[in-house]
Structure 1
Amino acid sequence: MAKFWWGDNLNEKKIHLLAWEKLCVPKAEGGLGFRNMVLFNQALLAKQGWRILQYPDSLIASLYKAKYFPDCGFMDAKSVNGGSYAWRSIVHGRELLRKGLRFQVGNGNRIRVWSDPWVPLPFSFKPISRPPDGLEDLRVVELLDNELHEWNVPLLRELFTPCLDPK
């Protein structure tokens, strides 16, 4: 698309009337609505990463696991030197995927309170409070009342800064 808009021929030069960033602005905001192809490509690669997470028994996920992350999960796998172009690309897309993923609590055994994304807050999905000394490795399961099968509210009030209601 950029070559069409700004491509030059041997005998004629084209005028660059708008910067690419302006062309990618949505039409509703005064732009031409072009897709930013770099971001679009990363979104498609993130979708492939999502498929590896959702269908770990699929052929492609099994192949990637055997070759690139036999001892860990997809989200912890490294982009190794000599890895295929496809694998390195999916790892690039995984960074976008990481921005939107969060844990579903379940029993909370595996979720680290302070470092894993699990809180239904926008952007980081992590608590905004700082961990108290000695509780840096606290797990979500420790915030639950085992007998009542609900949150331990007094402990939550002690550990976390209350969120202000924007209304």
Structure 2
Amino acid sequence: MSCFKLPDSLCKDLGALTSRFWWGQKKEERKIPWVAWDKLCTPKTDGGMGFRDLRAFNLALLAKQGWRLLKNHNTLFYQVFKAKYFANSTFLEAQLGKRSSYA
């Protein structure tokens, strides 16, 4: 999740599975959702349950990797990605290649 952008549909499906588990839904039986999903996703310090919005969390982890590429030029991670994906430019100016990987 910290290396690949998950499809929005997968994040939505995983969130739906979590909510069904939390609210106790079985097959076609529907239970009453006593608390809104947004309330469950708020941090515990603010009175919520601390569930994560998977799409936002995925984007935050990817942003963290981007930050590492911008700031840590002496790491093996940076050197490999520089050689493979943006040899003639900076990370922010990199273009999508013809045969690039999902990384």
Q: TM range, normalised to the smaller chain?
A: 0.5 to 0.7
Aligned twin of 2:39: 22
Task: Please tell me the root mean square deviation across aligned C-alpha atoms, in Å.
Answer: 2.6
Higher share in helix: 2
Q: For 1:64, which of 81, 93, 98 is the aligned residue?
A: 81
Aligned twin of 2:20: 6
Taking structure 2 as the reference length, the TM-score comes to: 0.60
Q: Give the aligned length.
A: 86
* Distance in 1 of aligned mates of 2:76 and 2:50: 37
| Contact in 1 for aligned 2:19/2:37 (Cα 8 Å) | no
Query: Quick one: percent identity of the two aligned structures?
Result: 44
1:34 aligns with 2:51: yes
1:50 is displaced (CA, Å) by 1.8
1:83 aligns with 2:97: no
Higher-RCO chain (CA-CA 8 Å, sequence separation at least 6): 2
Higher Rg of the two aligned structures: 1
Unaligned 5+ residue runs, structure 2?
1-13
Taking structure 1 as the reference length, the TM-score comes to: 0.41
* Distance in 1 of aligned mates of 2:94 and 2:48: 39
Unaligned 5+ residue runs, structure 1?
87-167
1:53 aligns with 2:67: no
* Distance in 2 of aligned mates of 1:83 and 1:16: 44
Higher mean C-alpha displacement, 32-41 vs 69-78: 32-41
5 Å-filtered alignment, 1:74-113, equals 74-80=91-97, 82-86=99-103
1:69 is displaced (CA, Å) by 0.9
